[in-house]
Amino acid sequence: MSAVDLPGPFRRALPGLAAPGTGVATPGAADAPDSVGQAGPGALAALGAAGRARAAAHAAERAAHAAARAARATRRRSDDELRRLAAEGAALLAPAGGPEASADEVAAWAAETFGDLLAVACSMADLVLPHVVAQHAPWVDVLFLETGYHFPETLGTRDAAAATMPITVVDVAAAQSVAEQDAEHGPRLHERDPGLCCALRKVAPLHAALGGYEAWVTGVRRDEAPTRTGTPLVTWDEKNRLVKINPLAAWSFDDLVGYATQHSVLLNPLLDDGYPSIGCAPCTRRVAPGEDPRSGRWAGLDKTECGLHA
C-alpha cells in the first residue's frame, strides 16, 4: 500500500492518503525491499484478499451496531432535561476552584450520559476527536459537513476514517447543490457573501442534522482564536437546542499532535502543507510561520468564524 511520508511535526506515514496538493499518493514505504510493490503476484493477491476481508468485517460490525441502535429506538429527552444534564456535567467536569476533567473523562461522561443520541462533529482536519470519543462510544455518529467545496485531501481523510475506524461517518449536505446555489444566488457566493454561503452550506444543514441528537461533541480549543478562549467543557447550545461538549477545549496544538502521534491517528496531509486550520478550499489559504493558525480562513475578509460555534 502506498503511503505519504509527512514532513514536519507528524513524521509518520499515512497509508493510502494523497500527497498534499497533488491528489496522488507518493511511494513512501514502497521503496523498501520488502514493499508490496516488489512482492510476487501470489503475495499481492493474498494482501488484496486480506484487505477485502477486513473491509467486509468492518462494514458488518458497523451494520450490526446500526441495527442494534435502531432496535433500541432511544427516546430524545426534553430540552429541560437536557439543560439540567448540561449544568450537572459542567459542574462535575469543571468544578469551581478545582481542576478540569481530562478529555478522556469528558468523553466517558458524554458516552454514558447520552449513549446513542451523541454525535461528533468533525471537519476531517484530523481524527483525534472521533478517536477520543470512540474509545467510550464505538461507532458513534461523526457528522461531516459535505459543503461541495472541500480539498481532495479532506475527502480522502474522511474516506480513510470511515474505512478504518470504529465510527459511523454521516455526510451532512446542504439543501441545494453548489450548482443549484449558483443558479439562485450567482456563482462564487463565497467571495461576495461568505456569511450567507456558510449559513447555507454549513450552519443550516448542521442545525437540521442535530435535531435528532441530545448532545454534540466538537473539537473547539481555547488556543485556536481569541473568540474561543472562553470555551467551556460542557454547555447548553441554545441555538441548536442540545448539549454541546468540548473535550479538547484545554488542549494546545502540541497536545493534539502528541495524541495523534501516540495513537497513530489519521491526519489530513494538508496539516503539514501549511494549513493548520482547514476549511473549504476556496476560502482557505496557507498560513505563514508565526501567524494565527486560523488566519488562513477567509483571508482578507472581515470574518473569523463560519457560524457553527458563534
What value does the mean pLDDT take over residues 126-145?
Answer: 97
Beta partners for 215?
Answer: 118, 243
Tell me which residue has cell 435528532: 212
- Confidence bin at 274 (pLDDT 50/70/90): confident
Task: Return the bridge partners of 136, or none.
Answer: none
Query: Which domains, ranges and CATH numbers included, belong to the chain?
Result: 75-283 (3.40.50.620)
Beta strands in the chain (DSSP E): 3-5, 13-15, 118-121, 140-146, 167-173, 215-217, 234-237, 242-245
* Residue 280 pLDDT exceeds 80: yes
| pLDDT surpassing 70 at residue 165 | yes
CA dist., res. 56 & res. 51, Å (int): 9
Of 111-120, 165-174, 188-197, give the lowest mean pLDDT range: 188-197
Give the amino acid at 53: A
Of 97 and 186, which is predicted with more confidence?
186
Q: Please write the tens of the pLDDT for every residue from 89-100.
A: 999 999 998 899
Q: Residue 62: pLDDT above 90?
A: yes
The torsion angle over the Cα atoms of residues 198, 201, 203 and 206, rounded to 10 degrees, is -150
Position 158 confidence tier, pLDDT thresholds 50, 70, 90: very high
Question: Mean of the pLDDT values across residues 167-187?
Answer: 96
The active-site residue out of 122, 198, 283, 306 is 306
pLDDT at 24 > cutoff 70 = no
pLDDT at 4 > cutoff 60: no
pLDDT computed for residue 46 by the predictor: 87
Q: How far apart are CA 9 and CA 260, in angstroms?
A: 11
Assign 244 to helix, strand or coil: strand
Q: CA 260 to CA 128: how far, in whole Å?
A: 6
Residue pLDDT, tens place only, 100-121: 999 999 999 999 999 999 999 9
Q: What is the per-residue pLDDT for 294? A: 64
pLDDT range class, residue 170, cuts 50, 70, 90 = very high
Please report the pLDDT score of residue 232 as a whole number.
96
Mean pLDDT of the chain: 85
Tell me, yes or no, if 306 is annotated catalytic. yes
Global pTM value:
0.82
Strands 215-217 vs 242-245: parallel, antiparallel or unpaired: parallel
Closest CA to 247 of 113, 144, 100, 53: 100
Which range has the worst mean pLDDT, 10-14, 102-106, 150-154? 10-14
pLDDT per residue over 222-256, tens digit each?
988 788 899 999 999 999 999 999 999 999 989 99
